[in-house]
Chain A
Amino acid sequence: MNTNRILVVDDEEFNRDVCVRRLQRKGFEAISASSGDQALEKLQAQSVDLILLDYMMPGLSGLDLLRFLRQSWSAQELPIIMVTAVTDSHSIAQALDEGANDYITKPIDFSVAMARIRSQLARKRAEAALRKSEERYALAAKGANDGLWDWDLVSNEIYYSPRWREMIGLSEDISHDPAEWTSRVHQTDVDDLKAALLKHIEGLDSTLQVEYRIRHRNGSYRWVSTRALAVRNDAGKAIRMVGSQSDVTDRITTDPLTGLANRLLFDARLEESLHQYREGSRYSFAVLYLDVDRFKLINDSLGHAAGDSLLREVATRLRNSVRDMEISSRPDSDIVARLGGDEFAILLLGIADRAQAENACERLATAIRPAIQLPDNDIYCSVSIGVVLASQTYNAISEMLRDADTAMYAAKAVGGGHWAVFEPAMQNRVRMRLQTETDLRHALDRRELRVFYQPRVMLSTGEIRGFEALVRWNHPARGLIMPGEFISIAEETGLIVEIGAWILKEACRQMKEWHGQYARHPQLDIAVNLSVRQCREPDLVAQIKATLDETGLPPECLHLELTESLLLDDIASARKLLQDLKALGVGLKIDDFGTGYSSLRYLCDLPFDTLKIDRSFTIQLGAGEDTAEDSVIRTIIAMAQNMSMGVIAEGVETEEHVKRLLAIGCHFGQGFFFSKPVSAADTEQLLAGHASWLPRSSALIECR
């Protein structure tokens, strides 16, 4: 901070000298003048922060100089402390009357003088800071087309500037009534505006910036932003408020990436359309929700820049496609918006029935279909579309949007590139799903989840070598629920992370317990599934390590099963994760092999030790003769052996399967032929009974 400059005005040289020296020692920059005239000269030459002014001076007296200075400088701008004789209370009163900020008496008690100087300087700084405050700056800095207003809070009259009036299409003068303003503000926003004004007037908020819609003379609404500043009297009461209003419609209603309308504008237009429709206007309309299929995958694999280019191109195609439809009699009122991410919405006026809506969807889907050229790739993409038609049953846009969303999910469920028009039955499915989601959130706390175990059997001997841990949900009302009905929900909501951690721990704990009860050689192992979502958790490896440490299960007895979809996401981080897991000493199995897209090339690179052949291959194994499936499995097995990987066949359901698998060199299997997944108690029965599924036919023995 700059040094404060103090001017000492005194006709006596000794006093001046002492004062200047002492001020300098205190760190001030002190200058002095021996007369009023000399003081004025110094003031012309340089800026001064405070004056110590001797009352009694020959020539231009201290009081005269004070009067003169106060014509040009206010008490806030230039604090003046008068130095008077102690007895002269009349002079003191007069000096304060004429605008002196404070006084000190002679002989000067320097500590008192310092205190008063510091307090005056502090006040000056505070006021200077206030003058430069953000609100003032903002008021001054606003754009060229601001409408100005000036509100006299005492008479409650507002001056509206010509530009302010023009902004809402009023060319003629309007009254000074505040209602000229507030009555034009959108009913949804008016309370917020009033509250903001009141808060600022009462000093609860030091700044005021508020955005709201105001009705233009032509009936449309403009988005405006208002900044204001209350002017207060000495008691701190606001007596006046001034402010500016600028039109921010374009900024606030446009999606910056695509230039389409954003959600705000879409909602406003939809609100307007629904309102008119309910009032009996002739326009029927449809709302379309669109979502780019597999956008996340594209974005992750090609990068955000490519993702953004793609969205821009999709936006352009949608806009052109809607423009070319010429369905509605007011084509300008159709609106294409980007709601965020890869979600778009279209408001189509003039769509009266399902057939017209489907026709529109078809045209949109066709527009999206041709390859999109990005700098490095050509991309083919598709959109899923959910449609809802306006109906008198809709009271609010939120209801329409909810149904459009439901329809879009129904379309997505069919697969990419489809569309669906909302029907109430969809709602039931969604409601059911939501209920499941809610219940699932409580399932862990209420201990409703169970781990079931399915044995992995050595095909040649029928011995149990290990188990796969599979989750079941013992729902209080619906009974035992299979994972197919809730795991995808757990994945989408992220609950899978918590559930997965619990299964892992429970399975490890249980297996450790069984090791104590049923000694085997080699020891039984336990396979636990890891979902893609779990694999994205940064502390997964640490968590597994902690579980092993806590339960005491040897790492080689834990096998983690991962699906190929993990590899689809991001091969580099998948490889890193697998290596880290491998380093723990656990086994790694690739699950559902053959159902995904992963090439064998990927597998060679990755530290999997076992491959599980998907059930869909096993159940098609022919009876005795070589079929196409046999050769697929044979190829898989040969490949696995080349890479020193073990092979397990899932879905072993018949004795025939066992024979065929043994014949083509697969040594391990699991499936209903041996046992379905069973509870821990039933598993103990299996183990205690030394259950084995010894081959019964001689043919099988030959195969060994």
Chain B
Amino acid sequence: MAHVLLVEDNELNRDMLSRRLKRCGWVVSSAEDGWRAVCMAEQERPDVILMDLSLPVLSGWDATRKIRQMPEINDIPIIALSAHAMLDDRTSALAAGCDDFETKPIDFDRLVTKMNALRLERFRDEH
């Protein structure tokens, strides 16, 4: 089963998204700040990470950079989630090491499509 780490500090958004993901068969763990996200990524090695950008402790950008520095987990796909629809957020998220970017409010179907595409890509890279 595919495992996703959802990093989101807003409890409402976290619950809502996590419920929907579980309904389509994902195993969901969640973290509410950037630091916990890095710790959990290292511990649990999820298949995909959904990363909100404005997070406490470490921002989504910083958490992504950190994950990208850690050899065991630096290949986990990360999709940035942000309400900031501005172009420079998209650019800076990709620069920090995110693989893709989704704007809130989330288009759920498009998000899941992207998640699966990234999983597949990684699977191909590994085999």
Q: Which chain A residues have a beta carbon within 8 Å of chain B's beta carbons?
A: 43-47, 71-74, 77, 131, 136-137, 139-146, 148, 150, 159, 161-163, 229, 231, 242
Please provide the 10 A-B residue pairs with the shortest distance between their CB atoms, ordered closest to farther.
A72-B83, A140-B62, A242-B35, A44-B85, A144-B69, A140-B66, A47-B86, A72-B104, A148-B39, A161-B42
Distance in Å from the Cβ of A140 to the closest Cβ of chain B? 3
List, in ascending order, chain B residues with CB within 8 A of A140's CB: 58, 62-63, 65-66
- Give the CA-CA distance A141 to B71 in the complex, in Å: 14
Contact B13 A139 (CB under 8 A): no
- In chain B, positions 52-91 with a C-beta closer than 8 Å to chain A are 54, 56-59, 62-63, 65-66, 69-72, 83-86
Contact A131 B86 (CB under 8 A): no
Contact B43 A136 (CB under 8 A): no
List, in ascending order, chain A residues with CB within 8 A of B57's CB: 136, 229, 231, 242
Residue of A nearest to B82 (CB): A72
- Give the CA-CA distance A73 to B89 in the complex, in Å: 14
Q: Which of the four size classes fits the interface of chain B?
A: 20 to 34
Offer 17 A-B interface pairs, CB within 8 angstroms, sorted by A. Answer: A71-B10, A71-B13, A73-B83, A136-B62, A139-B62, A140-B58, A140-B62, A140-B63, A140-B66, A141-B65, A143-B69, A144-B71, A146-B70, A148-B35, A148-B39, A150-B36, A231-B33
Residue of B nearest to A68 (CB): B105
Q: Which of B33, B43, B62, B104 has the most CB of A within 10 A?
A: B62
> Given contacts A71-B13, A140-B66, A150-B36, is CB(A162)–CB(B43) below 8 Å?
yes
Distance in Å from the Cβ of A132 to the closest Cβ of chain B? 8
Which residue in B59, B69, B86, B105 is a CB contact (below 8 Å) of A72? B105
List, in ascending order, chain B residues with CB within 8 A of A71's CB: 10, 12-13, 83, 104-105
Residue of A nearest to B9 (CB): A74
Contact B59 A74 (CB under 8 A): no
Q: Return the CB mask of B18-57 against A: 1 if under 8 Å, else 0.
A: 0000000000000001011011001100000000001011
Which residue in B38, B56, B71, B84 is a CB contact (below 8 Å) of A148? B38
> Given contacts A74-B54, A161-B42, is CB(A137)–CB(B62) below 8 Å?
yes
For the complex with contacts A140-B66, A148-B39, A148-B42, 12 further pairs of A-B residues with Cβ separation under 8 Å are A71-B10, A71-B12, A72-B104, A77-B54, A136-B59, A143-B69, A144-B70, A148-B35, A150-B35, A159-B39, A229-B57, A231-B57
Q: Which of B59, B66, B105 has the most CB of A within 10 A?
A: B66
List, in ascending order, chain A residues with CB within 8 A of B66's CB: 139-140, 142
Residue of B nearest to A229 (CB): B57
- Give the CA-CA distance A538 to B33 in the complex, in Å: 60
Contact B42 A162 (CB under 8 A): yes
Residue of A nearest to B89 (CB): A47
Which residue in A142, A162, A231 is a CB contact (below 8 Å) of B56? A231
Distance in Å from the Cβ of A593 to the closest Cβ of chain B? 69
List, in ascending order, chain A residues with CB within 8 A of B42's CB: 148, 161-163
